[in-house]
DNA sequence: ATTGACGTTGACGTTAACGTAAAGCAAGCG
DNA sequence: CGCTTGCTTTACGTTAACGTCAACGTCAAT
């Protein structure tokens, strides 16, 4: 069975528990296929999980990750919907640019802290 | 009273509730001075709050923000401690660089999503 | 002197994002 | 055949980060 993953395949690949993956399904973020009662994950679901976890590392809520997934994988072909989706995309892009700036600010501040620390070590008293 | 802020000064400046600020104090992240029973915040405490909130926007936990504050505002002059602090600083710098990369990845993906969206709008069917 | 804005300390409530434990099915292996 | 391993559902528990009262003090202004 190429191309299909079990729940524990994904769990060990991404270092999360199976509980977490099922939880994301409960919340409607993942929709694996079933063979009997057993979940099977295709590449599409794998990508979704990847997106959720990347979002998690960036401090996103599951609802935000849900939005991100929708941007990747639009449910509608309706032009109206696609345009509002486009707006959401632009908004998210703005947020991410802002986040980058905050990361950079913190990096700057850490450089200062590093310098202060080095000074205090080499130049005690 | 230049240089000193009330709790609601800070609350309105940073758009958080006073409850939030007191909560950070409960957790040991802020240590305002008291005039009687009333809290007074100097510039140092103001900076700490700023750091906490920036951390929050980046998805940091309060414990992580506590670390960040410690990096800015070391409690010890002990060289041993300063060196371990320095290691923490470097570790955090690494994490932030990683986070920047993730933000960039997501921005790239959003560009693709944007393009797909635009194509689907202008070029329907 | 009372009102109203602002402050205080508890104490309990809430939400998100899972963890954990119970109980059971299904397949493969010795 | 029984055992182990991996999967399932159901359900209750947990933690962080606050929100939301309640009950009270205090100071300036009307």
| B17 and B56 together in one domain | yes
| B48 and B101 together in one domain | no
| B84 and B49 together in one domain | no
Residue B1 confidence (pLDDT) above 80:
no
A113 pLDDT tier (thresholds 50, 70, 90): very high
| A11 and A52 together in one domain | yes
Residue B18 confidence (pLDDT) above 60:
yes
Rg over CA atoms, chain A? 21
CATH number of the domain encompassing residue A62: 1.10.1660.10
- The single residue listed with the structure tokens 């957790």 is B27
Residue A1 confidence (pLDDT) above 90:
no
| B6 and B57 together in one domain | yes
Q: Give the count of domains, chain A.
A: 2
| B3 and B57 together in one domain | yes
| A50 and A90 together in one domain | no
Give residues lining strand C (CB < 7 Å): A 16-17, 19-20, 23, 27, 36, 56, 61-63; B 6-9, 18, 22, 37-39
Query: How is residue A82 written in tokens?
Result: 């696609």
Protein contacts on strand D: list nucleotides below 7 Å from a Cβ.
6-10, 16-21, 27
| A54 and A18 together in one domain | yes
Q: Does residue B56 lie within 7 Å of nucleic acid chain D, judged by its CB?
A: yes
With beta carbons under 8 A apart, name residues in chain A contacting B118.
86
Q: How many CB pairs under 8 A join A and B?
A: 110
Q: Region A45-51: what's the mean pLDDT? A: 98
A115–chain B Cβ distance below 8 A for any pair: no
Average pLDDT, chain A: 96
Name the 3-class secondary structure at A17: coil
Distance from C-alpha of B105 to C-alpha of B90, rounded to nearest angstrom: 23
Q: pLDDT value at position B124?
A: 78
Specify if B51 maps to a domain. yes
Triad B39, B40, B44: Cα angle to 5°:
125
Shortest alpha-carbon distance between residue B35 and chain A (Å):
31
| A12 and A68 together in one domain | yes
């Amino acid at each position: 069975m190429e191309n299909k993953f079990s729940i524990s395949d994904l769990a060990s690949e991404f270092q999360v528990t199976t509980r977490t993956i099922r939880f994301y399904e409960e919340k409607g973020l993942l929709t694996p296929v079933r063979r009997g009662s057993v979940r099977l994950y295709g590449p599409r679901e794998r990508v979704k999980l990847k997106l959720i976890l990347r979002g998690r590392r960036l401090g996103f809520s599951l609802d935000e990750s849900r939005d991100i997934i929708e941007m990747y994988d639009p449910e509608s072909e309706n032009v109206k919907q696609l345009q509002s989706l486009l707006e959401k995309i632009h908004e998210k892009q703005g947020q991410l640019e802002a986040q980058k700036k905050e990361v950079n600010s913190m990096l700057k501040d850490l450089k200062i802290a590093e310098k202060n620390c080095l000074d205090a070590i080499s130049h005690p008293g």
